[in-house]
Chain A
């Protein structure tokens, strides 16, 4: 019998309905329509096939990094290095095409996964909180990007064929969209149909219970960060292919956008709730916001401020305060 300082927490016999019964996804979808309507009213050009295509293409790209970010958030961390990784891969990819051609694809993918592995390692073995660790590695990656190429580097025209994979269009849809769908399917399969993916959710929901039940916390978290690295690498490759060139600054906006996509989509920072579908809608929403604000004529610089506000609101709504009585 210990007299706990924080008061007795006697078990209630009654059924306790958890306060967050409405899946946040519904809120996101509703927001999608409402805000979409607002933009349309602001400028009818918002709903044109061309513009919608732009929105969806960008959301496909954002989705790839957002899904990885979601994994790290689900296991209770965060990946602030995605920006640096996207930048680094974007220049590395272009630079590598000349010497090794198509092998640049797997090389960059492996590099991304490796970067994620290192992030996971620093978190799980060196035991540094992920937001500091990824802040550090993000900085390292950004400087590596500059080391590879301080200025934007263009792909030599005779090598354009290599990036046709991304720029072509099978099935009448832009390949970018298809790639996004493939990545989505990949993450869906991993998260819903593999034990490791399920473990990511278990850890997110209750890490102590997961540990006590024998789930390999180190392995699962490391894999989550590797998935984030994978997503960021794919984004770097895709962007460079689309623009026929790499740029060491291209990744900076992805940190904010990916976190916003995940959080606004309804995945809680406390882990447990949320999932792939949430992030899909979150990415669509962020892409729509990005596009809509420009189409409607809103100041480009104000957009970032609005994004910041949305992240704060998103976290406020989804953060499970019962889980963390002391908020640091």
Chain B
């Protein structure tokens, strides 16, 4: 930190003791971040370390609960992204924030076209000229009249950076702070090089904060690296002092209570193979890979965002179509890209967002639990209320869903119980393979424990599970085996038998 302060004029932007809490979780705990002039800083940390929350605070999307933000030594309050831009802070989001049907130049100057206005009319010629000049500074020579939807992702990013540079200059800041969130995920190798060349050049008139999970490129390009973990600062170092292993070690290393995941209940993989994936690939998402899941086995899919693991699960659940390869469940080939096909074959999917994808919130517990098995709950060709109640009650008990009654609306259940309702919906339909997408996200500690126990129980009954967890510890603790994915490739399989669980630090080096 002394490094930044010593630069001429002191830090451009200083965040001190920033705290942010959400119900049940402390996202940031007295975090400090200082950004000096002409610096390229890399911000790293695991998923959930607090990077995105910190960034959102920096650009005014959410307010901090505690701490101060000061710009050139003066405290500021940022109430909106607009405020941030006016103060010279801008962010390029991962999904991009350009309007697809507007042209490049229209996007560049959106809402700030006043300078090109004469008597209320926009001068397209001057807009075009200004746009070309702006882009030329970034070595970009595209046609500024093209709709943004028709240029490549790399070019789109450049346009966004150009817009930020222009806007901050408009507001009179000669050293703006630009935040780039995972800019290289959508780029090909050569485009990445170009990006960094441009960033190094921009450095002479801006400070840049780069969020990336690619530690290698952070090391190669950034001046300083800031590591966050569990919402706290861990360390900062000049990249010249940093070593890859040191950083990896610092990113993980939570305390490990062995019994949290009921590892004593972990069973061995059964004889039968439930899921077999052969050369499944999807262009742009993941390379052809193969693996299998056996009876009663919990397989963890481990990797950072962008590793392709989510897309693999989507293909298994039928939500997306793979380009190549096949999926076999119990030996039978699965139709591609059909949720119906996957569900019928016996694949269940607990989605990451249970409210918008897992439940019918305005319907009651019984209706949600019985959704998949209505055909089995009939009497004389029609749905039988008696059988429905029986089935619902059975599963409420099995999964220990705490609800006043089976007629309670799901919207009124707590997060953990909602999650258990989603799980029972699938269990009721006798799934063979259950895909769990961050099953304990947003769930309190007590319910988390119940879900782990439930998973062990399912394993005992022979159900195979493919799980993606919030933390590496959870993955290691729950899984029999882990499939490590990085940059769209399945790089390694690691066993995780009870009593011989691998160390998170070993895994980390594989996924970054």
Contacts and interface: CB of A to CB of B under 8 A. Distances in A.
Given A1-B52, A202-B371, A213-B343, A18 B411 contact: yes
A13 to B, nearest CB: 4
Contacts of B413: 15
Interface stretch (B91-99, B107-115, B131-139, B243-251): B91-99
A193 interface: yes
A8 B22 contact: yes
B383 A193 contact: yes
A18 B409 CA distance: 9
A209 interface: yes
Given A13-B24, A209-B360, A214-B372, A194 B383 contact: yes
A11 B25 CA distance: 10
Nearest to A212: B339
A15 B418 CA distance: 10
Given A202-B363, A212-B319, 16 more contacts: A1-B52, A3-B52, A3-B211, A11-B441, A12-B415, A13-B415, A13-B444, A189-B382, A195-B374, A202-B371, A205-B361, A206-B360, A209-B358, A212-B339, A213-B339, A213-B371
Interface in B435-449: 441-444
Interface in A187-230: 189, 192-195, 198, 201-202, 205-206, 208-216
Interface of A: 1-5, 7-8, 10-18, 189, 192-195, 198, 201-202, 205-206, 208-216, 272-273, 320
Describe B's contact surface by its main secondary structure: mixed
Nearest to A18: B411
Contact of B93 (A5, A7, A205, A320): A5
A211 B25 CA distance: 32
B359 interface: yes
A209 B348 CA distance: 12
B97 A5 contact: yes
A1 B47 contact: yes
B410 to A, nearest CB: 9
Nearest to A202: B360
A289 to B, nearest CB: 28
B339 A15 contact: no
A210 B91 CA distance: 36
A283 B425 CA distance: 35
Contacts of A206: 356-357, 359-361
A18 B65 CA distance: 27
B56 A7 contact: yes
A99 B34 CA distance: 89
A272 B94 contact: no
A10 B444 CA distance: 12
A315 B99 CA distance: 31
Nearest to B418: A11
